Structure 1
Amino acid sequence: MCDAYVGAATGAFKCVSFKDGKITNANTIADLIPKETEITAMCFGDIEQSEVIACQANHQIKLYNSITNLYSDLFTVEGCEGKIIGLSMLSADKIITAAKTGQLQIWTPEGKLLSSDDWNAGNDILAFDKKPSSSTIIATAGKENLLKIWDIEITGTSHIRIYDPRTQRKPVHEYKFMDTPITALSLCNRENHIIASNTTGDMGLFDLRGGVQLLLKFRGFAGAVRSIAAHPTEPFVISVGIDRHIRLHNMDTKKLVKKTPTRFF
């Protein structure tokens, strides 16, 4: 068993044993073409860390199995420009890739694209990571590209959907909120109610009983709302938007209680 794995600029996939002081190559060096086979991103492929997923400069996704010592092809990332700088397993059947050009894509291990074609985090992405304790939260950042936290469970559309896990996968209720993608959701102090926001700065309180009904809209926003956190027992909700202001609203009165620039923190 190796202690560490290294992906080289030449494309060599190296297994490191600190105990024995040995470094071995899992692939054939003579077959490598650095401009194409450079390893640009790696991640473990399972919880046991017996598998490693690697991505090459030519967008070929490779799989290394430490039990069989085999280094094999999985699939090729299509519809993507630039080097893939980030790679992570979301679950046993989902792999996410992040390109330097900002393109984010979710794939099956067989190479089927599961995400939309227009998902982009902005140009010059230099860093990508997944929250270790979550299969849905990822982060991206880059050159003149602010840190962004993404929840991949959000639809990317303007629809709020209610599902019954005991039945089929189709939503039992659906509501269209404006015409722009929903960016954040939060439970609140009212049972069977949620707060949702979108990319144009609309934030509303919704009643989920018997369907989805918009009860009220909060005002005072300038641009997309990125995150919402409502108090579980009190009628207050905090939100943060791209204008870098933290806002505190009272859900009972709809009033903006406080607005604070984040530069003060």
Structure 2
Amino acid sequence: MAAKSQICSIWIGSETGILKGVSLSKKQAFNFCEVSHLSRDQEVCVMAWGDTYESEVLVGCVNGTVRTFSTDKGIFTASRECGEPSQGRFTGLAVTDSSWITCVESGLVKVWKEGSTESDTVEINVGRGICRMRQNPSQKHHVATGGKENPLKVWDLEKPDKAIFTAKNVAHDWLDMRVPVWVRDIGFIPDSDKIVTCTGHRQVHVYDPSTPQRRPVMEAKFGEYPLTALSLPASQGTVVVGNTHGELAILDLRKGLVRGCLKGLAGSVRGLQCHPSLPLVASCGLDRFLRVHSLEDRSLQHKVYLKSRLNCVLLSSRELESSIDVTGDVEEVKAEDEKDEDEVWDTMETVTEKSKKRIAHEEEEVVTRGKEKKKRKVAKK
């Protein structure tokens, strides 16, 4: 499996708990999993690179474990308990120095130092209902959190007593009613102090913690459905957002206008990431496809069917195997234990409802038998 994993430049986490690697230049996809331990408890929630050399992929699962996958060896090399299912799913995973940073839905952010036990971890309670935690790429010890009725907050992990920035909700709407808070994803705008968020109420907000203003310095809306994910392209000034109906759009961060839409998606967007240096964006979600779009002409460059519902995507910082000009579907190599859900349904016995005429006929027979039985009892008397 080592030869297979080394050619993969895109990594996908699935609901079935399988880590999938895709090589666009070889037009192949591979499943990496421990067959004997595969279960729904292994569903992949979050992923992150384990080191700067991108030789390790950290995979956060529903059951609270974080597994380490070696891209050089093509196998999982370690597993660590970093949470409990009762605390909720992982909503963020990051690495700083030799420590891991995890965040769960209940609002518990933990810093796991290498070789330390759970009692040695740094814990921050950031509030309940967390939907996303993101690390600041330029300041690794800064993280941002946000969720349902839990506004954007920025935390310094070296001074965890209090958030260094807490966003203020937007002003009341035209009916003078409070606007609900529902932060779904967060991004740090490069070469600035600004932060962009997308919400479950179709909003895109830009905040500037370097100013006294705690309300958004820019607000825009997109579509008619909740936004689920965002990512910032290498070229500054725009953000890519996706929603629950498979709509992807590129928004101007200065004017709040939609620059264009990316076509082809059919299900809710769960994973979205722009390439660190190339004008490409990868997306995945409930329709089980990985798609790579060009941000220059918004064309679909690659489309890969991966058989499982997909939760997250992780791109390598190198060129995607020099495959920007390669188009077409990618062949998928399936793990022995994984079945397409459609195949499962096909093997099930079909149960059809009885026709109305047949039901009426059977009811008539029951009534007739009842009358005959009554007549026989009367005759015996």
TM-score bracket relative to the smaller structure:
0.5 to 0.7
Corresponding residue for 2:67? 62
SS at 1:53 equivalent:
strand
Alpha-carbon distance, 1:61 to partner: 1.0
Q: 1:109-130, CA deviations, whole angstroms, 9 ceiling, x for partnerless residues? A: 445234444x211111111110
Corresponding residue for 1:21? 27
CA distance in 1, matches of 2:217, 2:66: 44
Alpha-carbon distance, 1:90 to partner: 1.2
SS at 2:87 equivalent:
coil
Corresponding residue for 1:82? 88
Q: Determine if contact 2:153/2:163 at 8 Å carries over to the other structure.
A: no
Say which of 33, 37, 40 aligns to 1:31.
37
The AA in structure 2 aligned to 1:75 is R
Q: Determine if contact 1:74/1:110 at 8 Å carries over to the other structure.
A: no
Corresponding residue for 2:18? 12
With structure 1 as the length reference, what TM-score do the two structures score? 0.56
2:170 is aligned with 1:128: no
SS at 2:132 equivalent:
strand
Q: Determine if contact 2:155/2:164 at 8 Å carries over to the other structure.
A: no
SS at 2:77 equivalent:
strand
- By relative contact order (CA 8 Å, sep 6+), the higher-ranking structure is 2
Q: Determine if contact 1:76/1:111 at 8 Å carries over to the other structure.
A: no
When residues 104 and 17 of structure 1 are mapped into structure 2, their CA distance, relative to the original with a 3 A threshold, is same
Corresponding residue for 1:140? 145
RMSD of equivalent CA atoms = 2.8
When residues 98 and 78 of structure 1 are mapped into structure 2, their CA distance, relative to the original with a 3 A threshold, is closer
The AA in structure 1 aligned to 2:32 is A
CA distance in 2, matches of 1:22, 1:264: 44
Structure 2: give runs of 5+ residues left out of the alignment. 1-6, 166-208, 219-381
When residues 184 and 100 of structure 1 are mapped into structure 2, their CA distance, relative to the original with a 3 A threshold, is closer
Alpha-carbon distance, 1:143 to partner: 1.1
In the comparison of the two structures, how many residue pairs are matched? 167
Q: Which has the higher strand share?
A: 1
CA distance in 2, matches of 1:28, 1:261: 47
Q: Determine if contact 1:4/1:16 at 8 Å carries over to the other structure.
A: yes
Alpha-carbon distance, 1:31 to partner: 3.2
Corresponding residue for 1:71? 76
The AA in structure 1 aligned to 2:76 is Y
The AA in structure 2 aligned to 1:143 is K
The AA in structure 2 aligned to 1:84 is F
The AA in structure 2 aligned to 1:72 is T
Q: Which has the larger radius of gyration?
A: 2
Say which of 53, 57, 65 aligns to 1:52.
57
Q: Where do 1:104-119 residues align within 5 Å?
A: 104-110=109-115, 112-113=117-118, 114-117=120-123, 119=124
SS at 1:133 equivalent:
coil
CA distance in 1, matches of 2:65, 2:111: 15
When residues 264 and 105 of structure 1 are mapped into structure 2, their CA distance, relative to the original with a 3 A threshold, is closer
Alpha-carbon distance, 1:77 to partner: 1.4
Structure 1: give runs of 5+ residues left out of the alignment. 157-181, 186-245, 249-258
Q: Determine if contact 1:77/1:111 at 8 Å carries over to the other structure.
A: no
CA distance in 1, matches of 2:44, 2:56: 16
